[in-house]
Amino acid sequence: MIRKEVLEELVLNEVIAQLKSPETMDYIICNLLKLQEEQTKANSVLNMLLKEQKQVQISIDNIVNAIERGVVSKATAKRLKELGERQQELEVLIIKEQNKTCIKLTEQNMREFYETALLYESKTLINYLVKHIVLYDDKMEIYFNNPIINSGPDYESRGFCFYRNTVTICTYLYAKTSPVLQKIKIEMFIG
């Protein structure tokens, strides 16, 4: 059992120490840039919309070919109209999805995100940077907010670990016993 104040101080000290390290910052920025590029390439929503748009176009072409051969009925005219409307809807959805991926953060934007966070007071810094903390008996995982904003279906599972360390902290096994030194692993993740 770890007191809240001890845990907060430990997290704060580790976060600040790592973000002030130029090597760690370079590693984070490099991996965020790679992650951003992967997310742009693997935009499954955009890919799905483009695939559907291609299928709708093929259907439109088939109906137009049928009309040219003289196969005309109310059903073909109705279906052609439906496909034309869907084609227009898809064009709008594709443009919206492409706009999401057009906004790419530069290396400088990412550095500013973290450097600005270091200027905040401790509680604000934690709220700004830390997404959540998972505490186990022998380790703690700190998940950071990602400056790359993405709303895709696989967004939650994306990210990377950028720091691992083992620290010794003072814990209390029971409220009435004396403090015990305990080693705890710390892992920090972006994503």
- DSSP, residue by residue, 115-143: HHHTTS-HHHHHHHHEEEEEE-SSEEEEE
Instruction: Give the pLDDT confidence score for residue 158 in this predicted structure.
Output: 52
In the chain, pLDDT over 90 holds for what percent of residues? 19
Residue of higher predicted confidence among 172 and 140: 140
Instruction: Give the pLDDT confidence score for residue 37 in this predicted structure.
Output: 81
Q: Range with the lowest mean pLDDT among 54-63, 97-106, 118-127, 171-180?
A: 171-180
Instruction: Give the pLDDT confidence score for residue 191 in this predicted structure.
Output: 66
Summarize the confidence of residues 154-172 as an average pLDDT: 60
Summarize the confidence of residues 50-69 as an average pLDDT: 93
- 133-162 pLDDT, tens digit each: 888 877 888 888 878 765 444 444 455 677
Instruction: Give the pLDDT confidence score for residue 173 in this predicted structure.
Output: 47
Residue holding tokens 């130029």? 22
Residue of higher predicted confidence among 51 and 159: 51
The type of residue at 89 is E
Instruction: Give the pLDDT confidence score for residue 124 in this predicted structure.
Output: 87
Q: Measured between alpha carbons, how far is 178 from 170 in angstroms, rounded to an integer?
A: 10
Instruction: Give the pLDDT confidence score for residue 71 in this predicted structure.
Output: 84
Number of other residues whose CB lies within 10 A of the CB of residue 32 = 24
Hey, what long-range contacts does 143-148 have (CB within 8 A, 24 or more apart)? 143/188, 143/189, 143/190, 143/191, 144/188, 144/189, 144/190, 144/191, 146/32, 146/35, 146/190, 146/191, 147/32, 147/105, 147/109, 147/110, 147/113, 147/114, 148/32, 148/35, 148/36, 148/39, 148/105
